[in-house]
């Protein structure tokens, strides 16, 4: 994976805010999911472009196959035995958070699990655990390739 995607020059530290570890752990899980959604989206877009998919229709179709609620819930299932205790706790908090809305094309359980997945990604990113994010993204890719 390209070093500039996570860590390195992807985003200068000055733009990441000054949250302490305690602050990050106290964030509403929906805030973590908001950040995680963006981080995962950048990962997916970077991956798609690196695969040489440049036509907008194909690009969009490939991206949607990664970022929809059912896919993210499936990735969480793949990762369940790989997560440490803290990551599993963040997933539970994200899954149990009440967002007030559910997209009309998503199953409620898939949506909640996807929110847990995104919360964990956001948590790891804000904690600057970039090596762990790489490990998780690699597992996601391996699981998709083995489908």
The catalytically annotated residue of 2, 23, 37, 131 is 37
Would 99 be classed as within a structural domain?
A: yes
Would 69 be classed as within a structural domain?
A: yes
pTM of the entire structure? 0.86
**Over the stretch 25-60, which tens digit does the pLDDT of each residue have?**
999 999 999 999 999 999 999 888 888 878 888 888
CATH number of 49's domain: 1.10.1520.10
The values of phi and psi at residue 111, to 5°, are -60, -45
Tally of domains within the chain? 1
pLDDT > 90 in the chain, percent = 58
Predicted pLDDT at 2: 44
Would 120 be classed as within a structural domain?
A: yes
List for the chain the helix, strand, coil content (%; round to 5): 70, 0, 30
Predicted pLDDT at 73: 93
Task: Assign 5 a pLDDT band (cuts: 50, 70, 90).
Answer: very low
Predicted pLDDT at 17: 67
**For the residues 84-113, what does the mean pLDDT come to?**
90
Q: Is residue 37 among the annotated active site residues?
A: yes
């Amino acid at each position: 994976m390209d070093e500039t995607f996570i860590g390195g020059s992807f985003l200068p530290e000055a733009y990441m805010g000054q949250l302490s570890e305690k602050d990050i752990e106290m964030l509403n899980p929906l805030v973590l999911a908001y950040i995680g959604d963006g981080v995962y989206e950048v990962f997916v877009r970077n991956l798609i472009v690196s695969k040489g998919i440049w036509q907008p229709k194909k690009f969009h179709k490939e991206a949607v196959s990664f970022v929809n609620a059912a896919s993210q819930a499936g990735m969480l299932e793949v990762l369940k035995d790989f997560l440490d205790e803290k990551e599993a706790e963040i997933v539970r908090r994200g899954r149990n958070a009440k967002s007030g809305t559910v997209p009309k094309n998503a199953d409620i359980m898939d949506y909640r699990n996807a929110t847990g997945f995104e919360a964990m990604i956001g948590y790891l990113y804000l904690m600057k655990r970039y090596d762990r994010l790489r490990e998780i993204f690699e597992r996601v890719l391996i699981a998709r390739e083995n489908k």
